[in-house]
Amino acid sequence: MFLHQTRLAFMLYNRASRNTRKFGRVLCSRPETAILSRTARLPVLFGQCNLQTVSPADSKLVISSRSEHEKVVCFGEMLIDFVPTVGGLSLADAPAFKKAPGGAPANVAVGIAKLGGNAAFVGKVGDDEFGYMLVDVLRENEVETRGCRFDANARTALAFVTLRHDGEREFMFYRNPSADMLFEPEELDTELLREAGIFHYGSISLITEPSRSTHLEAMRIAKEGGAVLSYDPNLRLPLWPSAKAAREGIKSIWDHADIIKVSDEEVKFLTGGDPSDDENNLTLFHPGCKLMLVTEGGEGCRYYTPKFRGRVDSLKVQVVDTTGAGDAFCAGVLIQLGKDISILENEGKLREALRFANACGAITTTERGAIPSLPDMDTVMQFISKVPA
Protein backbone atom coordinates (compact mmCIF):
# COMPACT_ATOMS: atom_id res chain seq x y z
CA MET A 1 0.00 0.00 0.00
CA PHE A 2 2.79 2.42 0.95
CA LEU A 3 4.69 1.78 -2.31
CA HIS A 4 1.48 2.31 -4.27
CA GLN A 5 0.89 5.65 -2.49
CA THR A 6 4.49 6.73 -3.08
CA ARG A 7 4.29 5.93 -6.81
CA LEU A 8 0.99 7.83 -6.97
CA ALA A 9 2.53 10.87 -5.25
CA PHE A 10 5.43 11.11 -7.66
CA MET A 11 3.20 10.38 -10.68
CA LEU A 12 1.05 13.36 -9.68
CA TYR A 13 4.17 15.46 -9.04
CA ASN A 14 5.53 14.72 -12.53
CA ARG A 15 2.14 15.47 -14.06
CA ALA A 16 1.99 18.76 -12.13
CA SER A 17 5.49 19.69 -13.30
CA ARG A 18 4.58 18.98 -16.94
CA ASN A 19 1.40 21.02 -16.62
CA THR A 20 3.30 23.91 -15.04
CA ARG A 21 5.59 24.06 -18.06
CA LYS A 22 2.67 23.59 -20.46
CA PHE A 23 0.16 26.09 -19.11
CA GLY A 24 2.37 28.96 -18.02
CA ARG A 25 4.61 30.53 -15.45
CA VAL A 26 4.10 30.89 -11.71
CA LEU A 27 2.45 34.20 -10.92
CA CYS A 28 2.78 34.35 -7.13
CA SER A 29 5.75 34.88 -4.81
CA ARG A 30 5.20 31.59 -2.94
CA PRO A 31 5.77 28.92 -5.60
CA GLU A 32 4.94 25.99 -3.32
CA THR A 33 1.24 26.79 -3.87
CA ALA A 34 1.62 28.01 -7.41
CA ILE A 35 -1.24 29.76 -9.20
CA LEU A 36 -0.83 29.09 -12.91
CA SER A 37 -1.75 31.36 -15.78
CA ARG A 38 -4.82 29.26 -16.72
CA THR A 39 -6.01 29.32 -13.10
CA ALA A 40 -5.24 25.61 -12.68
CA ARG A 41 -4.11 24.95 -9.09
CA LEU A 42 -1.54 22.18 -8.81
CA PRO A 43 0.57 20.87 -5.94
CA VAL A 44 4.30 21.47 -6.15
CA LEU A 45 6.19 18.93 -4.06
CA PHE A 46 9.71 19.21 -2.72
CA GLY A 47 12.34 16.73 -1.67
CA GLN A 48 12.82 13.01 -1.51
CA CYS A 49 10.07 12.37 0.99
CA ASN A 50 7.88 10.03 2.96
CA LEU A 51 4.19 10.11 2.09
CA GLN A 52 1.89 10.82 5.02
CA THR A 53 -1.73 9.63 5.22
CA VAL A 54 -4.16 12.31 4.04
CA SER A 55 -7.86 12.54 3.50
CA PRO A 56 -8.97 11.78 -0.08
CA ALA A 57 -10.85 15.06 0.04
CA ASP A 58 -7.64 17.02 0.59
CA SER A 59 -6.50 18.73 -2.62
CA LYS A 60 -2.81 18.60 -1.68
CA LEU A 61 -0.43 15.79 -0.92
CA VAL A 62 1.37 16.21 2.41
CA ILE A 63 5.04 15.33 2.23
CA SER A 64 7.45 15.14 5.16
CA SER A 65 11.02 16.34 4.79
CA ARG A 66 14.22 14.30 4.85
CA SER A 67 14.29 13.84 8.60
CA GLU A 68 17.72 12.21 8.82
CA HIS A 69 19.40 15.55 8.02
CA GLU A 70 19.10 18.95 9.64
CA LYS A 71 17.71 21.47 7.17
CA VAL A 72 20.36 23.71 5.62
CA VAL A 73 18.88 27.04 4.56
CA CYS A 74 21.05 28.96 2.07
CA PHE A 75 20.57 32.72 1.72
CA GLY A 76 21.75 35.05 -1.02
CA GLU A 77 22.05 35.49 -4.75
CA MET A 78 21.02 33.28 -7.65
CA LEU A 79 21.90 34.36 -11.16
CA ILE A 80 22.65 33.30 -14.71
CA ASP A 81 26.28 32.61 -15.59
CA PHE A 82 27.22 32.99 -19.25
CA VAL A 83 30.25 30.78 -19.79
CA PRO A 84 32.32 30.85 -23.04
CA THR A 85 32.07 27.72 -25.13
CA VAL A 86 35.84 28.01 -25.71
CA GLY A 87 38.21 28.46 -22.79
CA GLY A 88 41.26 30.71 -22.64
CA LEU A 89 39.71 33.65 -24.52
CA SER A 90 38.63 37.11 -23.43
CA LEU A 91 34.93 37.90 -23.29
CA ALA A 92 35.27 39.97 -26.47
CA ASP A 93 36.93 37.10 -28.33
CA ALA A 94 34.64 34.30 -27.14
CA PRO A 95 32.65 32.95 -30.12
CA ALA A 96 29.59 32.01 -28.03
CA PHE A 97 28.35 31.59 -24.48
CA LYS A 98 26.40 28.85 -22.73
CA LYS A 99 23.96 29.96 -20.03
CA ALA A 100 24.09 28.16 -16.70
CA PRO A 101 22.36 28.68 -13.34
CA GLY A 102 24.72 30.08 -10.72
CA GLY A 103 25.14 32.05 -7.52
CA ALA A 104 27.19 30.58 -4.68
CA PRO A 105 24.44 30.13 -2.03
CA ALA A 106 22.13 28.52 -4.59
CA ASN A 107 24.94 26.23 -5.75
CA VAL A 108 25.48 25.10 -2.16
CA ALA A 109 21.76 24.38 -1.71
CA VAL A 110 21.67 22.27 -4.88
CA GLY A 111 24.91 20.54 -3.90
CA ILE A 112 23.42 19.49 -0.56
CA ALA A 113 20.20 18.28 -2.18
CA LYS A 114 22.09 16.28 -4.83
CA LEU A 115 23.98 14.55 -2.04
CA GLY A 116 20.66 13.55 -0.45
CA GLY A 117 20.44 16.34 2.10
CA ASN A 118 17.63 18.65 3.16
CA ALA A 119 18.20 22.09 1.62
CA ALA A 120 16.22 25.29 1.11
CA PHE A 121 17.07 28.52 -0.69
CA VAL A 122 16.08 32.05 0.32
CA GLY A 123 16.59 34.80 -2.23
CA LYS A 124 15.08 37.04 -4.86
CA VAL A 125 15.11 36.86 -8.66
CA GLY A 126 13.45 38.90 -11.37
CA ASP A 127 9.90 38.33 -12.53
CA ASP A 128 11.34 37.26 -15.86
CA GLU A 129 12.14 34.13 -17.84
CA PHE A 130 15.58 33.75 -16.25
CA GLY A 131 14.13 34.11 -12.75
CA TYR A 132 11.53 31.41 -13.33
CA MET A 133 14.14 29.19 -14.95
CA LEU A 134 16.36 29.47 -11.87
CA VAL A 135 13.58 28.60 -9.43
CA ASP A 136 12.64 25.66 -11.67
CA VAL A 137 16.26 24.46 -11.47
CA LEU A 138 16.06 24.53 -7.67
CA ARG A 139 12.83 22.52 -7.71
CA GLU A 140 14.16 20.01 -10.21
CA ASN A 141 17.08 19.41 -7.86
CA GLU A 142 14.73 19.01 -4.85
CA VAL A 143 15.65 22.25 -3.11
CA GLU A 144 12.83 23.82 -1.11
CA THR A 145 11.82 27.16 -2.69
CA ARG A 146 9.16 28.70 -0.46
CA GLY A 147 11.73 31.34 0.53
CA CYS A 148 12.12 32.55 -3.08
CA ARG A 149 10.65 35.87 -4.16
CA PHE A 150 10.14 37.51 -7.57
CA ASP A 151 10.62 41.22 -8.30
CA ALA A 152 8.50 42.76 -11.07
CA ASN A 153 10.67 45.91 -11.22
CA ALA A 154 14.17 44.44 -11.58
CA ARG A 155 15.83 41.78 -13.68
CA THR A 156 17.58 38.61 -12.63
CA ALA A 157 21.33 39.17 -12.26
CA LEU A 158 23.68 38.06 -15.07
CA ALA A 159 27.39 37.27 -14.95
CA PHE A 160 29.74 36.69 -17.88
CA VAL A 161 32.56 34.37 -16.89
CA THR A 162 35.88 34.01 -18.70
CA LEU A 163 37.71 30.70 -18.34
CA ARG A 164 41.50 30.86 -18.42
CA HIS A 165 43.57 27.95 -19.72
CA ASP A 166 44.03 26.69 -16.13
CA GLY A 167 40.26 26.61 -15.57
CA GLU A 168 40.25 29.65 -13.26
CA ARG A 169 37.67 32.39 -13.81
CA GLU A 170 37.20 36.11 -14.20
CA PHE A 171 33.79 37.80 -13.91
CA MET A 172 31.81 40.67 -15.43
CA PHE A 173 28.44 41.33 -13.76
CA TYR A 174 25.19 42.99 -14.88
CA ARG A 175 23.33 44.27 -11.78
CA ASN A 176 21.86 47.76 -12.18
CA PRO A 177 20.28 46.91 -9.75
CA SER A 178 19.29 43.27 -10.03
CA ALA A 179 16.40 41.70 -8.15
CA ASP A 180 18.59 40.11 -5.45
CA MET A 181 19.80 43.59 -4.43
CA LEU A 182 16.19 44.65 -3.74
CA PHE A 183 15.28 41.86 -1.32
CA GLU A 184 13.32 43.48 1.55
CA PRO A 185 13.30 42.25 5.19
CA GLU A 186 9.50 41.94 5.21
CA GLU A 187 9.73 39.47 2.31
CA LEU A 188 11.58 36.91 4.43
CA ASP A 189 9.87 33.62 5.25
CA THR A 190 10.52 33.72 8.99
CA GLU A 191 9.04 30.26 9.55
CA LEU A 192 11.53 28.73 7.12
CA LEU A 193 14.45 30.56 8.74
CA ARG A 194 13.46 29.24 12.17
CA GLU A 195 13.46 25.69 10.77
CA ALA A 196 17.14 25.93 9.80
CA GLY A 197 19.58 23.63 11.54
CA ILE A 198 22.35 25.37 9.58
CA PHE A 199 22.02 28.82 8.00
CA HIS A 200 24.53 29.39 5.18
CA TYR A 201 25.30 32.71 3.47
CA GLY A 202 27.91 34.75 1.61
CA SER A 203 28.83 38.44 1.50
CA ILE A 204 27.47 39.71 -1.83
CA SER A 205 24.09 40.55 -0.28
CA LEU A 206 25.92 42.88 2.15
CA ILE A 207 27.04 45.28 -0.59
CA THR A 208 23.91 47.46 -0.88
CA GLU A 209 20.61 48.20 0.81
CA PRO A 210 17.99 46.85 1.23
CA SER A 211 19.59 43.41 0.76
CA ARG A 212 22.12 44.11 3.54
CA SER A 213 19.40 44.72 6.13
CA THR A 214 17.54 41.64 4.88
CA HIS A 215 20.70 39.56 5.26
CA LEU A 216 21.27 40.74 8.82
CA GLU A 217 17.64 40.13 9.77
CA ALA A 218 17.74 36.62 8.29
CA MET A 219 20.87 35.86 10.34
CA ARG A 220 19.19 37.12 13.49
CA ILE A 221 16.04 35.06 12.98
CA ALA A 222 17.97 31.88 12.13
CA LYS A 223 20.30 32.30 15.12
CA GLU A 224 17.40 32.88 17.50
CA GLY A 225 15.85 29.70 16.11
CA GLY A 226 18.95 27.74 17.12
CA ALA A 227 20.73 27.51 13.76
CA VAL A 228 24.47 27.09 13.30
CA LEU A 229 25.68 30.03 11.14
CA SER A 230 27.89 29.14 8.17
CA TYR A 231 29.76 31.87 6.23
CA ASP A 232 31.57 31.67 2.89
CA PRO A 233 32.48 35.28 1.95
CA ASN A 234 32.84 34.36 -1.75
CA LEU A 235 34.73 37.55 -2.61
CA ARG A 236 33.72 39.17 -5.91
CA LEU A 237 35.77 42.36 -5.80
CA PRO A 238 34.27 44.01 -8.94
CA LEU A 239 30.88 44.17 -7.18
CA TRP A 240 32.17 46.25 -4.25
CA PRO A 241 32.78 50.01 -4.44
CA SER A 242 36.41 49.48 -3.39
CA ALA A 243 38.78 46.93 -1.88
CA LYS A 244 38.50 48.76 1.46
CA ALA A 245 34.70 48.51 1.35
CA ALA A 246 34.94 44.81 0.56
CA ARG A 247 37.24 44.09 3.53
CA GLU A 248 35.05 46.08 5.90
CA GLY A 249 31.84 44.55 4.58
CA ILE A 250 33.10 40.97 4.73
CA LYS A 251 34.53 41.44 8.23
CA SER A 252 31.39 43.24 9.51
CA ILE A 253 29.61 39.92 10.16
CA TRP A 254 32.70 37.75 10.62
CA ASP A 255 32.40 37.27 14.37
CA HIS A 256 28.80 36.05 14.14
CA ALA A 257 29.67 32.89 12.18
CA ASP A 258 30.07 29.49 13.82
CA ILE A 259 31.61 28.00 10.66
CA ILE A 260 33.75 29.96 8.20
CA LYS A 261 35.01 28.74 4.84
CA VAL A 262 37.51 31.05 3.15
CA SER A 263 39.82 30.51 0.17
CA ASP A 264 43.57 31.05 0.25
CA GLU A 265 43.15 34.04 -2.08
CA GLU A 266 40.57 35.53 0.30
CA VAL A 267 42.98 35.04 3.22
CA LYS A 268 45.59 37.04 1.30
CA PHE A 269 43.02 39.75 0.61
CA LEU A 270 41.79 39.96 4.22
CA THR A 271 45.11 39.65 6.04
CA GLY A 272 47.80 40.58 3.56
CA GLY A 273 49.64 37.49 4.82
CA ASP A 274 50.56 34.02 3.66
CA PRO A 275 47.62 31.54 3.70
CA SER A 276 50.06 28.65 4.07
CA ASP A 277 51.10 30.09 7.47
CA ASP A 278 48.81 28.77 10.20
CA GLU A 279 49.64 31.65 12.52
CA ASN A 280 48.58 34.14 9.87
CA ASN A 281 45.33 32.26 9.29
CA LEU A 282 44.56 32.10 12.98
CA THR A 283 44.32 35.90 13.06
CA LEU A 284 40.93 35.32 11.35
CA PHE A 285 39.78 32.76 13.93
CA HIS A 286 37.44 34.60 16.30
CA PRO A 287 36.64 33.35 19.85
CA GLY A 288 33.16 32.04 18.99
CA CYS A 289 34.21 30.16 15.86
CA LYS A 290 33.69 26.38 15.94
CA LEU A 291 35.39 25.59 12.61
CA MET A 292 37.36 27.64 10.09
CA LEU A 293 38.35 26.14 6.77
CA VAL A 294 40.92 27.57 4.35
CA THR A 295 40.63 25.99 0.91
CA GLU A 296 43.75 25.79 -1.24
CA GLY A 297 42.32 25.10 -4.68
CA GLY A 298 43.68 21.88 -6.09
CA GLU A 299 45.97 21.33 -3.08
CA GLY A 300 43.37 20.60 -0.37
CA CYS A 301 42.26 22.51 2.72
CA ARG A 302 43.38 23.58 6.19
CA TYR A 303 41.12 23.31 9.21
CA TYR A 304 41.08 25.11 12.55
CA THR A 305 38.91 24.48 15.62
CA PRO A 306 39.32 25.55 19.27
CA LYS A 307 40.86 22.10 19.98
CA PHE A 308 42.86 21.08 16.90
CA ARG A 309 44.10 22.11 13.50
CA GLY A 310 45.56 20.40 10.45
CA ARG A 311 45.46 19.91 6.70
CA VAL A 312 43.76 17.45 4.33
CA ASP A 313 45.18 16.88 0.83
CA SER A 314 43.07 17.18 -2.29
CA LEU A 315 42.12 14.37 -4.65
CA LYS A 316 43.73 15.02 -8.04
CA VAL A 317 41.68 15.34 -11.23
CA GLN A 318 42.00 16.86 -14.70
CA VAL A 319 40.56 20.36 -14.24
CA VAL A 320 38.18 21.71 -16.88
CA ASP A 321 36.34 24.50 -15.01
CA THR A 322 36.68 25.52 -11.35
CA THR A 323 33.24 27.19 -11.26
CA GLY A 324 31.30 25.87 -8.27
CA ALA A 325 34.17 23.86 -6.77
CA GLY A 326 34.18 25.85 -3.54
CA ASP A 327 30.40 25.60 -3.33
CA ALA A 328 30.55 21.82 -3.82
CA PHE A 329 33.14 21.70 -1.03
CA CYS A 330 30.78 23.68 1.24
CA ALA A 331 27.91 21.34 0.40
CA GLY A 332 30.09 18.34 1.24
CA VAL A 333 30.96 19.81 4.64
CA LEU A 334 27.48 21.05 5.56
CA ILE A 335 25.57 17.89 4.66
CA GLN A 336 27.75 15.95 7.09
CA LEU A 337 27.54 18.56 9.85
CA GLY A 338 23.78 18.59 9.32
CA LYS A 339 23.71 14.88 10.04
CA ASP A 340 26.24 14.85 12.89
CA ILE A 341 27.38 18.15 14.41
CA SER A 342 29.64 16.24 16.82
CA ILE A 343 32.11 15.98 13.93
CA LEU A 344 33.38 19.34 15.16
CA GLU A 345 34.61 17.68 18.36
CA ASN A 346 36.30 14.66 16.74
CA GLU A 347 39.37 15.30 14.60
CA GLY A 348 39.29 11.88 12.93
CA LYS A 349 35.67 12.32 11.86
CA LEU A 350 36.38 15.88 10.73
CA ARG A 351 39.27 14.75 8.53
CA GLU A 352 37.01 12.11 6.93
CA ALA A 353 34.35 14.76 6.33
CA LEU A 354 36.89 17.09 4.73
CA ARG A 355 38.22 14.34 2.46
CA PHE A 356 34.63 13.80 1.33
CA ALA A 357 34.22 17.57 0.78
CA ASN A 358 37.49 17.73 -1.17
CA ALA A 359 36.17 14.94 -3.40
CA CYS A 360 32.96 16.91 -4.02
CA GLY A 361 34.98 19.94 -5.08
CA ALA A 362 37.35 17.93 -7.25
CA ILE A 363 34.57 16.17 -9.17
CA THR A 364 32.88 19.50 -9.88
CA THR A 365 35.98 20.81 -11.68
CA THR A 366 35.90 18.00 -14.26
CA GLU A 367 32.92 19.50 -16.14
CA ARG A 368 31.79 22.96 -17.23
CA GLY A 369 29.32 24.93 -15.12
CA ALA A 370 28.50 24.72 -11.43
CA ILE A 371 25.10 23.12 -10.90
CA PRO A 372 25.31 20.61 -13.78
CA SER A 373 28.62 19.30 -12.45
CA LEU A 374 27.69 19.03 -8.75
CA PRO A 375 27.95 15.33 -7.81
CA ASP A 376 25.48 12.99 -6.14
CA MET A 377 26.41 10.70 -3.26
CA ASP A 378 27.07 7.60 -5.39
CA THR A 379 29.46 9.52 -7.65
CA VAL A 380 31.42 10.85 -4.67
CA MET A 381 31.67 7.49 -2.91
CA GLN A 382 32.78 5.72 -6.10
CA PHE A 383 35.40 8.40 -6.71
CA ILE A 384 36.75 8.17 -3.14
CA SER A 385 36.87 4.37 -3.30
CA LYS A 386 39.26 4.54 -6.27
CA VAL A 387 41.69 6.93 -4.54
CA PRO A 388 44.07 5.60 -1.85
CA ALA A 389 43.44 7.13 1.58
- How far, in Å, CA of 373 to CA of 352, rounded? 22
| Phi/psi-derived region of residue 218, left when phi > 0, alpha when psi is between -120 and 50, beta in every other case | alpha
Q: Pick the closest to residue 281 from 252, 261, 253 (CA basis).
A: 261
- How far, in Å, CA of 178 to CA of 262, rounded? 26
- How far, in Å, CA of 73 to CA of 218, rounded? 10
Task: Name the active-site residue from 232, 327, 340, 376.
Answer: 327
Instruction: Cis check for the bond before 375: say yes or no (omega within 30 of 0).
Output: no
Q: Are 306 and 290 in contact (CB under 8 A)?
A: yes
Which helix (H) or strand (E) segment holds residue 231: the answer is strand 228-231
Query: Which residues touch 253 (CB under 8 Å, ≥6 apart)?
Result: 203, 206, 215, 216, 219, 231
In sequence order, which ranges of the chain are alpha helices (DSSP H)?
2-23, 104-114, 129-140, 190-195, 211-224, 243-251, 264-271, 278-281, 325-339, 347-364, 377-385
327 catalytic per annotation:
yes
Active centre residues (catalytic): 327
